[in-house]
Structure 1
Amino acid sequence: MTATFALPVPSSSGSLEQYIQIVNSVPLLSAEEENELANRLHAQNDLEAAKKLVLSHLRVVVSIARGYAGYGLPQADLIQEGNIGLMKAVKRFEPNRGVRLFSFAVHWIKAEIHEFILRNWRLVRVATTKPQRKLFFNLRSMKKSFAALTDSEARVIADDLGVKPEEVREMETRMSGQDVALLADDNDDEGFAPIDWLADSDHEPTRQLEKKAFDHLQTAGLEQALSSLDARSRRIIEARWLADDSGATLHELAAEFGVSAERIRQIEAKALTKMKAALSERAAIEA
């Protein structure tokens, strides 16, 4: 159903304000119209009826999504996730139960928005169990002020939501924590940032020994590998790979030795293979 007709979304409408104007301009349905469209959808798989049901309730998604503005996520993303929940509700809606689609859809809309927030809020999975999720989405509204919770307030909230007081305090701490920049402000010459307190692993003894061994292999090992080559092969490798400038081309070396460029390439490939074997053997001996 969702892939058959297109719904307006904030990005395609130009702006969030324009999108809200569009969805608010869609007329509401009466109970009779709603039941008729729902019956057509289920009896005949009428996708046009499904579209009308969805479009007439997009304003409901906008209203619900506004209640989650305090989580620092784009409002347009919250609305689009809520729209997914609305479409799921339309698909499952049964008018013969005597409930309006508005009331039925609220659960599905909130469920999709909740899942989106839990997946993306500060990239941290702050709530993993059902009681923790309930605590996560109700703690803001249950706090009476912006101040830290007292012991008695934490106990009251814990009793209401079926969790432990320490879980309430932990969730409060995690939700009230501010994001901290890893790097210092460019305008603050004397300021320190978290990166200044990170350990420099490059100066660990084991890293120093590894670096020393690598440098030795790069110098003494390379010289030994070069010495295993004949004069022509060594000249080609040094001219192609160890020159200070961009290095000689195959055609330049071909002209120097009076052979074809393909022959120079073959000599180079054979020499590199021989050098790699010599370096590996030396590394194994010194390990």
Structure 2
Amino acid sequence: MTTMTAPAALVPASKNALGLGFTGNLGNLDAYISAVNRLPMLTQEEEVRLGRNLKNNNDLGAAQELVLSHLRLVVSIARGYLGYGLPHADLIQEGNIGLMKAVKRFDADQGVRLVSYAMHWIKAEIHEYILKNWRLVKVATTKAQRKLFFNLRSHKQGLDAMTPAQIDQLAKVLDVKREEVIEMETRLSGRDIALESPTDDEDDKFAPIAYLSSEQSEPTRVLEAEQVTRLQSEGLETALGKLDPRSRRIVEARWLANDDGSGATLHTLADEFGVSAERIRQIEAAALKKMKGALAAYV
């Protein structure tokens, strides 16, 4: 059950302000709505008086009365946005923030009732909340996309895709491009999909994570590839540089001459240097041991 808490700034100094005890914690959502609907509405003369007191004297008591008398407006507007799957209580709370912003900027001497002025601020705050929380991926960032986001559903007939004529008509009504209507309809018709399957059965192989992930991008494999690259270039060259010319020639001929690993034989190198094959093997073993020590810094 959702608990509605009135902001401290909205709680009147007097418990009987506006003729109704309105405490900070009103329990569940139904109790909150019932309480705000019992708050009396202000006459135009009362609204003008309170608005002037707030503007000229920074009277917070006047601001409280103006806000409290219009909380029912927020509830009514928030109810119209329940189709986006967000909690009604959260929509109301965001709308209340918009109402407080409207009261802060309200000028009673302009001849406009607060209810007309506040509607814009309440809707703007609710719109911003919906766009931030409706999906993990933002679906509307430009002005045209915002207009389409909040108007497309009401213009669609049923669940079928819009016809070219309907698309053209909506683009004309909202003064947006035809392509933007098509793009937003595509976004809204899609649905969020979990990257990983919620179960541990055979469905795992069909979850997006199974085909979107790349083994080559896995951190451990990336580090291994970088390490191999360093060993093959910088590390190997450093290790060979520590050998004497004969030892280097033997290692290169035995292990680095061909990519397929088919290097020179011990007997071929024995004939080249005029020593026995066993001696070539000993020089090779000593050279590889020395190189291993040099390559340790790159592992």
TM-score (norm 2): 0.64
Unpaired runs of 5+ in structure 1? 215-279
Give the Cα–Cα distance (whole angstroms) in 2 for the partners of residues 37 and 281 of structure 1: 84
Give the Cα–Cα distance (whole angstroms) in 2 for the partners of residues 175 and 194 of structure 1: 20
Give the Cα–Cα distance (whole angstroms) in 1 for the partners of residues 222 and 9 of structure 2: 63
Q: Which residue of 2 aligns with 1:164?
A: 177
Unpaired runs of 5+ in structure 2? 1-5, 13-21, 229-292
Q: Which residue of 2 aligns with 1:273?
A: none
Aligned pairs (5 A) from 1:193-208: 193-201=207-215, 207=221
Q: Which residue of 2 aligns with 1:58?
A: 71
Q: Which residue of 2 aligns with 1:131?
A: 144
Q: Helix, strand or coil for the counterpart of 1:13?
A: strand
If you compute each CA radius of gyration, which structure gives the higher value, 1 or 2? 2
- Aligned with residue 141 of structure 1, among 150, 154, 161: 154
Contact 2:10 2:67 in 1 (8 A): no
Give how far 1:99 is off. Answer: 1.5
- Aligned with residue 22 of structure 1, among 14, 19, 35: 35
Give how far 1:208 is off. Answer: 8.2
- Aligned with residue 210 of structure 1, among 224, 233, 242: 224
Give the Cα–Cα distance (whole angstroms) in 2 for the partners of residues 128 and 209 of structure 1: 37
Contact 2:95 2:125 in 1 (8 A): yes
Give how far 1:183 is off. Answer: 2.7
Give the Cα–Cα distance (whole angstroms) in 2 for the partners of residues 125 and 190 of structure 1: 28
> Are residues 187 and 282 of structure 1, via their aligned partners in 2, closer, same or farther at CA, if it must alter by over 3 Å?
closer
> Are residues 43 and 208 of structure 1, via their aligned partners in 2, closer, same or farther at CA, if it must alter by over 3 Å?
closer
Give the Cα–Cα distance (whole angstroms) in 1 for the partners of residues 32 and 159 of structure 2: 33
- Aligned with residue 99 of structure 2, among 81, 86, 93: 86
TM-score (norm 1): 0.67
Contact 2:197 2:203 in 1 (8 A): no
- Aligned with residue 196 of structure 2, among 183, 189, 199: 183
Give the Cα–Cα distance (whole angstroms) in 2 for the partners of residues 178 and 3 of structure 1: 35
Q: Helix, strand or coil for the counterpart of 2:140?
A: coil
> Are residues 177 and 79 of structure 1, via their aligned partners in 2, closer, same or farther at CA, if it must alter by over 3 Å?
same
Give how far 1:153 is off. Answer: 0.6
Give how far 1:87 is off. Answer: 0.7
Contact 2:96 2:122 in 1 (8 A): yes
- Aligned with residue 5 of structure 1, among 9, 28, 33: 9
Which amino acid in 1 is paired with 2:101?
K
Aligned pairs (5 A) from 1:96-135: 96-135=109-148
Query: What percent of counterpart residues are identical?
Result: 58
Paired residues, what number?
Answer: 219
> Are residues 213 and 187 of structure 1, via their aligned partners in 2, closer, same or farther at CA, if it must alter by over 3 Å?
closer
- Aligned with residue 68 of structure 1, among 69, 74, 81: 81
Give the Cα–Cα distance (whole angstroms) in 2 for the partners of residues 37 and 12 of structure 1: 25
Which amino acid in 2 is paired with 1:89?
A
Give the Cα–Cα distance (whole angstroms) in 2 for the partners of residues 69 and 58 of structure 1: 17
CA deviation profile, 1:229-282 (whole Å, cap 9, x unmatched)? xxxxxxxxxxxxxxxxxxxxxxxxxxxxxxxxxxxxxxxxxxxxxxxxxxx985
CA RMSD of aligned residues (A): 3.3
